[in-house]
Amino acid sequence: MKHQALFMLAGLGLATTAQAADVSVAVGADYSNADFDGSSAHQSLNDNGNSRWTGYIDFRHPLLLLPNVNFQRSDFSSAASGVKHDLDVYDLTFYYRPLELDLLSLDLGLDLRRYDGEVNGRGYQHDLLMGYLGAESGLPGTGLGVFGDARYGAWNGDESHDWRVGVSYTLNPQDSLQLKLRGGYRNARLDYDKLGYNFNQRVDGWFMGGELRY
């Protein structure tokens, strides 16, 4: 009985070590020079060359029943004649990774999105449930990869999408602390009513950034 207990404890310790090795946390940020068009508060928008930032944190683990978690904040603020629309977009994404191979990984999940805005001093919040799809492919031994993700949600006349595609290069793919450089193109669309206004905006542009994963 003592030997069996020791074997069980040893096996549990090995499993815990293996699971701990599969746990990873990443922080990243992207800079974009985005263009805005559409309408906001009944004013036409055509605002080009805006410097905007997106920051995120991502947590992955090997537990099958619990989803991985990603939290992201994006600045979608814009301005038109007589209208200043400050807008922060928060995404809390719960996702699973049903496919993970050396050449390809696939993520599926749900995204809880909050639009936290202010129009000429009047604040509002708007929430939307979105579907999430992500994919990443890498060339083994090179650090080179391509990636993409998309979010889409529609409810009671509200509609939003947000997708991006890009390329990446991991400087040290074999290390436990990895630095990844990334760049690509992002396109987002939001359409909803708040404060008696219809916000119908498109945000698109190139981005570049980096990610540190441990």
- pLDDT confidence of residue 141: 85
Cross-strand bridge partners of residue 145: 138, 168
pLDDT value of position 32: 93
Domains and CATH numbers, the chain: 25-213 (2.40.128.100)
pLDDT of residue 195: 87
Model confidence over 7-47: pLDDT tens digits?
Answer: 333 344 433 433 444 899 999 999 998 887 777 667 776 66
Q: Report pLDDT for 47.
A: 67
Instruction: Check residue 48 and give its pLDDT.
Output: 67
Strands of the chain, DSSP E: 24-40, 43-60, 68-75, 78-80, 83-100, 104-119, 122-138, 144-155, 158-170, 178-194, 197-213
Predicted local confidence at residue 8, as pLDDT = 39
Sequence-ordered alpha helix ranges (H) in the chain: 2-22
Q: For residues 39 and 200, what is the distance between their CA atoms, to the nearest angstrom?
A: 5
The whole-number pLDDT of residue 120 equals 83
What is the pLDDT at residue 196? 85
- From the list 133, 76, 130, 137, the residue with the least C-alpha distance to 105 is 137
Distance in angstroms (rounded) separating the CA atoms of residues 179 and 210: 7
- Write down the pLDDT at residue 49: 65
- Per residue in 55-67, pLDDT (tens digit) is 999 999 999 899 9
* Per-residue pLDDT, 12: 40
User: What local confidence, expressed as pLDDT, does residue 78 receive?
Assistant: 82
Residues of the chain with pLDDT under 50: 1-21
32/49 Cα distance (integer angstroms): 9
Residue 17's pLDDT is 38
